[in-house]
Amino acid sequence: MRRNDNFARLNKNYLFTEIEKRVAAFKAKEPSAKLISLSVGDTSQSIPPSIAKGLVQKITDLQVNETYSGYGPSQGDRALREKIAEAFYENKISADEIFISDGAKCDIGRLQLLFGEKSKIVLQNPTYPVYLDSSLLMGQTEISALPALPDNGFFPEFGKVKEVDLIYFCSPNNPTGVAATKEQLKELVSFAKSRCAVIIFDSAYAGFIRDPSLPRSIYEIEGAEECAIEVSSFSKLIGFTGVRLGWSVVPKALKYENGLSVHDDWQRVMATFFNGASNIAQAGGVAALTPEGVEEMRGLTDYYLENVRLLRGALQPMGYPIYGGEAAPYLWVDFGEERFQEFLERYHILTTPGSGFGSAGKGFLRFSGFGSREDILEATRRLKREVSYQNSDR
């Protein structure tokens, strides 16, 4: 049996698997070290009460024949789609254009099926690795990774690209933690339209935006429904990284060059490769979008934003440029050289090396604010102790 040649194009290990290996090697050397993870963006706080109640109620319903349900619609529960349309898109997007899924990452992979191996891809560099890896696995060969650096406000010079079919764009961004402005997204939409390209807009962290002038969805930009697909997620908003629930938006106005509907094909992909998100998870999603759930979601995202604020306070005295953290739970720190191993061995703090997100991430470390407050405070103590020690040494 012949292996899919495209596997040879991937890095041997997925970024977070590689980090796990490095940690295992360190633990074998220093088994008693109390490691604090500021690495993978995984939530630490429990599911808020009214949302958990929604999950429990569904489990109770599943125990009784009269309220039991099996397979649901592959596009997802209509009540949840209606609530998403209202809560996240002010009904500018209709429930028919929303597809419930088992998470944004899974949708990112499946979306590749719409465009095929001949599509020309544009990514930000650094970038969430799944956009690149899923493109490589699909067999796409023309992939441009445009630098998104402090110098250009983390917004690439798209105009330099002549031909493109698909543009991946994530805002608020992983890994930089920076959110694009309305002007930048207008530029992005206008670029996509000028090249007849499609944007895959990842808004998994939009729930962390507090500045009302920053767009939370690509559809806040006029005309985006003709050139953009959005993927999003409940993972970080309500502690659902393990429960698994996300959604995609494929507007009916989005057409291929031959005039056929992208929406219809996405419906076909979801019907063929996906059997609907877990009905328990979807009940949790509905509970999250009640007034009580929305308030809890806000409380949870505030908690992680406060973690990031505390981390920033501890990192600032080190004197390196720090980006992000205001509209996303990540800090992106420019140390100018690889410091992953040093943070691990010296502070017993686990970070994510910027180079894992692309060549333009070299010299940066990403710090995640998704830990417990206790861990975050312990990390800040370790960092501050080190800085005051260094200062007293001078």
Count of beta carbons in the 10 Å neighbourhood of residue 360: 21
Contact map string, positions 20 to 49, toward ligand PL4, x by CB under 6 A: --------------------xx--------
**Which residue from 97, 202, 296, 375 is in contact with ligand PL4, where contact means CB under 6 A?**
202
Between CA 61 and CA 302 the distance in angstroms is: 32
- Subset of residues 332 to 351 that bind ligand PL4, contact rule: CB under 6 A: none
Coil, strand, or helix at residue 264? Answer: helix
241 contributes a contact to ligand PL4 by CB under 6 A: yes
Q: Find the shortest distance in angstroms from Cβ 52 to ligand PL4.
A: 18
Interaction pattern, residues 146-185, with ligand PL4; x per rule: CB under 6 A:
------------------------x---x-----------
Contacts of 117 (CB under 8 A, 6+ apart): 138, 139, 140, 141
Q: How far is the CB of 255 from ligand PL4 (least distance, A)?
A: 26
Q: Does 230 bind ligand PL4 (CB under 6 A)?
A: no
Beta bridge partners of 200: 168, 229
Considering the complex, what minimum distance in angstroms separates the CB of residue 107 from ligand PL4? 8
The smaller minimum CB distance to ligand PL4, of residues 81 and 105, is found at 105
The one segment of 81-89, 98-106, 113-121, 308-316 that binds ligand PL4 by CB under 6 A: 98-106
Three-class DSSP category at 120? coil
Longest dimension (CA), the chain: 74
Distance, in Å, from the CA atom of 142 to the CA atom of 128, rounded to the nearest integer, reads 18
Q: Is residue 103 near ligand PL4 by the rule CB under 6 A? A: yes
235 binds ligand PL4 (CB under 6 A): yes
Closest distance to ligand PL4 from the beta carbon of 154 (Å):
14
Rule CB under 6 A: say whether 16 interacts with ligand PL4: yes
Angle subtended by helix axes 373-393 and 340-347, to nearest 10: 90
- Out of 75, 119, 184, 233, the residue judged to bind ligand PL4 by CB under 6 A: 233
CB distance 367 to 299 below 8 Å? no
Region for 239 from its dihedrals, namely left if φ exceeds 0, alpha if ψ lies in -120 to 50, beta otherwise? left
Which letter, b or e, does each residue of 110-129 get, where b requires 16 or more Cβ atoms within 10 Å of its Cβ?
bbbebbeeebbbbbbbbbbb
d(CA 6, CA 148): 26
Instruction: List residues binding ligand PL4 (CB under 6 A).
Output: 16, 40-41, 103-106, 128, 170, 174, 202, 204, 233, 235, 241, 246
